C-alpha cells in the first residue's frame, strides 16, 4: 500500500521532525510512505476574509497538483467524520481490499483547506472538534496510521 501525506507548511521544530522520522521508519514495514511538504502562504495580520480565501485557494491549487487521479484522497477537516483507531484500521484495510492502494491524506495550512481540495476529497476525516497545529497533526496522523497497520496485522498496540 502507498500512503502519501500532503501537507502545507514546513516543519521547523526538531522534536516534531524526530517524531515524523520515527513513525516513518516504523511505517516502512507496512507501506510505502511519502510526505510532501508544500510552502504555506504568509497570512498578514488582520487579513480580510477575501485575502484568507485567496490564500486558501492558492495553497489548495498547490495541493491539487500533487494529487494523482489514482489516489483515494482523505482530507483532514474538522467537519469530517470521526473514527476510532480500530475504525480507521478497518477503513484502510477495506480500501486496500477494494483496490485503493494509493491513499493520500491532506493536511491544510493554518486557514484550513480550500473548497476545491474538499471537493476533490473522497472522504473527510476529523480527529476532533478541536483545532490542532497543522505541524503537530502530521505526527498524530502518522501515529494513527501506524497504529492502524498494527491493528490490521493483529499486532499488539497500546489501548
Q: Which residues line the annotated binding site for S-adenosyl-L-methionine?
A: 76, 108, 127-132
Backbone angles phi, psi at 41, to 5 degrees: -85, 140
Contacts of 119 (CB under 8 A, 6+ apart): none
The grid coordinates of residue 70 equal 489514482
Q: Which helix (H) or strand (E) holds 107?
A: strand 102-107
Is 68 exposed, middle or buried, given 0-12, 13-18 or 19+ CB atoms closer than 10 A?
exposed
Closest CA to 150 of 27, 21, 32, 18: 27
Binding annotation: 76, 108, 127-132
Amino acid at each position: 500500500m502507498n500512503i502519501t501525506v500532503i501537507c502545507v507548511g514546513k516543519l521547523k521544530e526538531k522534536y516534531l521532525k524526530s517524531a515524523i522520522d520515527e513513525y516513518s521508519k516504523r511505517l516502512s514495514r507496512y507501506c510505502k510512505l511519502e510526505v510532501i511538504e508544500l510552502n504555506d502562504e504568509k497570512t498578514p495580520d488582520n487579513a480580510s476574509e477575501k485575502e484568507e480565501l485567496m490564500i486558501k485557494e492558492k495553497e489548495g491549487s498547490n495541493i491539487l497538483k500533487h494529487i494523482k487521479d489514482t489516489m483515494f484522497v482523505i482530507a483532514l477537516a474538522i467537519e469530517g467524520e470521526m473514527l476510532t483507531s480500530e475504525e480507521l484500521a478497518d477503513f484502510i484495510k477495506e480500501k486496500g481490499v477494494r483496490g485503493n492502494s494509493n491513499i493520500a491524506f491532506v493536511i491544510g495550512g493554518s486557514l484550513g483547506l480550500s473548497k476545491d481540495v474538499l471537493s476533490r476529497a473522497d472522504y473527510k476525516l476529523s480527529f476532533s472538534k478541536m483545532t490542532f497545529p497543522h505541524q503537530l497533526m502530521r505526527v498524530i496522523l502518522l501515529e494513527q496510521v501506524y497504529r492502524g497497520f498494527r491493528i490490521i496485522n493483529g499486532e499488539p498496540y497500546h489501548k
